[in-house]
Amino acid sequence: MMVVMNVEATKDQIDAVITRVEANNFNVILNQGEERTVIAVVGTNPSVIREQLMYMPGVDHTVPISRPYKVASREFIPANTIFPLDGFMIGGDEVVIIAGPCAVENRSQVLESPYAVKEAGAHALRGGAYKPRSSPYSFQGLGEEGLEILAEARELTGLPIVTEVMAPELVPLVARYADVLQIGARNMQNFALLHAVGECDKPVLLKRGNSALIEELLMAAEYILSHGNRRVILCERGIRTFETTTRNTTDINAIPVLKSLTHLPVILDPSHSTGHADLVIPIARAGIAAGADGLIIEVHPNPKEAMSDGGQSLTPEKFATLVKQIKAIARDVGRK
Ligand code: PEP
Ligand code: MN
């Protein structure tokens, strides 16, 4: 339930509502809008205290929040969440492109392409130092050494770093190096990990699990938001269907659906959603046309030799083509 305060409500009146809510063993989440304050009352069946709250001084009206996710919902926060990331904004007019290899393999591989991706127009650099591989015998990532290489790439290019964190105990370490913490599809419902990134002060890129409902993705985001970390980016990265020609099936629907249900930025990962380098550009175009706020793209200096996801990785040249085409579509749909 939301308690919508009136425009003239005083701080004392807002505090009195909060005190009353907490005295009834419900939790409070505040949205201090420019015009008025809205207080979300969360817990089991908050409508039992509706009558107590609706006549308190300063209260305009109360409304139920119909969705199970609260802070993530557009009902509670109608305006788009837009936040800065080293020199650009995510969630605003500009379409943001994150690019780089699937995994950090060695120094020269990472330090060879960041200039090319930066020059082509990437806003941020991706690369996994901790890799969630389907097989325990596949390359698992370089760990902290990989993070150091990413930090070096940031020093050289000025591009912020997006990298995956796979376990709660690794959050402090990864957060020391990364500008954005990625939660991979396989960990979308790792609640201990969601709590841990919710407590940290870095933005989080939350990928949709490959069998997760849109509502489950939003509930996973809610875990992070409920800890006070409001800088969450959602990522559609394909879901598992009966179709096996492509690695996953890009759920293009999810983009406008998410944009209508939540104020959080939504990006698309056409590399994992298709699994084929040849499909990345067309599906990236579709994602931006459908209203995505950005893209995350796997780019490798030599895809044939990649230690993971080479088949879906673009060369830096192909990536430059993608950026050019995306910019044109972005303009056509009223973005930058
Ligand atoms: C990745 O970004 O390299 C990755 C492992 O993605 P996902 O979690 O979407 O499979
Ligand atoms: Mn990958």
Indicate whether 112 belongs to any domain: yes
Under 8 Å CB-to-CB from 136, ≥6 apart: which residues?
none
Question: What does the pLDDT look like over 92-102, one tens digit per residue?
Answer: 999 999 999 99
Strand 204-207 relative to strand 232-236, pairing: parallel
Same domain? For 87 and 59 the reply is no
Q: Is 198 in the pocket of ligand 1 (CB under 6 A)?
A: no
**Residue pair 95/85 in contact by the 8 Å Cβ criterion:** no
Same domain? For 49 and 152 the reply is no
**Residue pair 63/2 in contact by the 8 Å Cβ criterion:** yes
Final residue in a domain of this structure, among 31, 63, 95: 63
Residues 78, 84, 90, 94, CA torsion sign: positive
What confidence score (pLDDT) does residue 116 get?
85
Indicate whether 299 belongs to any domain: yes
Under 8 Å CB-to-CB from 98, ≥6 apart: which residues?
122, 123, 124, 125, 126, 162, 205, 267, 294, 295, 296, 297
What confidence score (pLDDT) does residue 66 get?
86
What confidence score (pLDDT) does residue 262 get?
98
Same domain? For 53 and 95 the reply is no
Same domain? For 54 and 139 the reply is no
Expressed in angstroms and rounded, the spacing between residue 298 Cα and the centre of ligand 2 is: 7
Our mutation pick for probing the ligand 1 site, out of 182, 211, 234, 295, counting the most ligand atoms within 8 A of Cβ, is 182
Same domain? For 14 and 126 the reply is no
Which ligand 1 atom is the nearest neighbour of the CA of 237?
9
Indicate whether 72 belongs to any domain: no
Q: DSSP secondary structure string, 188-202? A: TT-HHHHHHHHHSSS
Same domain? For 18 and 128 the reply is no
Indicate whether 78 belongs to any domain: no
Strand 88-90 relative to strand 83-85, pairing: antiparallel
Question: What does the pLDDT look like over 254-305, one tens digit per residue?
Answer: 999 999 999 999 999 999 999 999 999 999 999 999 999 999 999 999 999 9
Our mutation pick for probing the ligand 1 site, out of 207, 247, 295, counting the most ligand atoms within 8 A of Cβ, is 207
Indicate whether 312 belongs to any domain: yes
What is the number of residues in the chain? 336
Expressed in angstroms and rounded, the spacing between residue 53 Cα and the centre of ligand 1 is: 45
- Nearest-5° Cα angle at 124, 269 to 154: 140
Indicate whether 73 belongs to any domain: no
Same domain? For 51 and 150 the reply is no
**Which protein residues have a CB closer than 5 Å to ligand 2 (ion)?**
102, 309
Q: Which residue's CA is the closest to the ligand 1 atom numbered 1?
A: 102
Q: pTM for the full model?
A: 0.96
Same domain? For 87 and 223 the reply is yes
Question: Based on the structure, what is the number of domains in the chain?
Answer: 2
Inform me whether the pLDDT recorded for 314 exceeds 90.
Answer: yes
Which domain range does residue 50 map to? Answer: 2-63
DSSP at 6: -
- Nearest-5° Cα angle at 159, 266 to 319: 65
Question: What does the pLDDT look like over 281-291, one tens digit per residue?
Answer: 999 999 999 99
Same domain? For 55 and 158 the reply is no
Indicate whether 71 belongs to any domain: no
Q: Is 259 in the pocket of ligand 1 (CB under 6 A)?
A: no
Which ligand 1 atom is the nearest neighbour of the CA of 182?
2
Same domain? For 50 and 107 the reply is no
Q: Is 300 in the pocket of ligand 1 (CB under 6 A)?
A: no
Q: Which residue's CA is the closest to the ligand 1 atom numbered 8?
A: 184
Domain of residue 156, CATH code: 3.20.20.70
Question: What does the pLDDT look like over 116-175, one tens digit per residue?
Answer: 899 999 999 999 999 999 999 999 999 999 999 999 999 999 999 999 999 999 999 999
The alpha helices in the chain, defined as continuous H runs, are: 11-23, 50-54, 107-112, 114-120, 144-157, 171-177, 191-199, 214-226, 254-261, 270-274, 277-289, 316-332
Same domain? For 104 and 27 the reply is no
Residue 34 pLDDT class (50, 70, 90 cuts):
confident
Q: Is 234 in the pocket of ligand 1 (CB under 6 A)?
A: no
Q: How far apart are CA 178 and CA 155, in angstroms?
A: 12
Angle between helices 316-332 and 277-289 (to 10 degrees): 20
Same domain? For 47 and 123 the reply is no
Domain of residue 15, CATH code: 3.30.70.1140
Indicate whether 226 belongs to any domain: yes
Q: Which residue's CA is the closest to the ligand 1 atom numbered 4?
A: 184
Residue 114 pLDDT class (50, 70, 90 cuts):
confident
Expressed in angstroms and rounded, the spacing between residue 289 Cα and the centre of ligand 1 is: 23
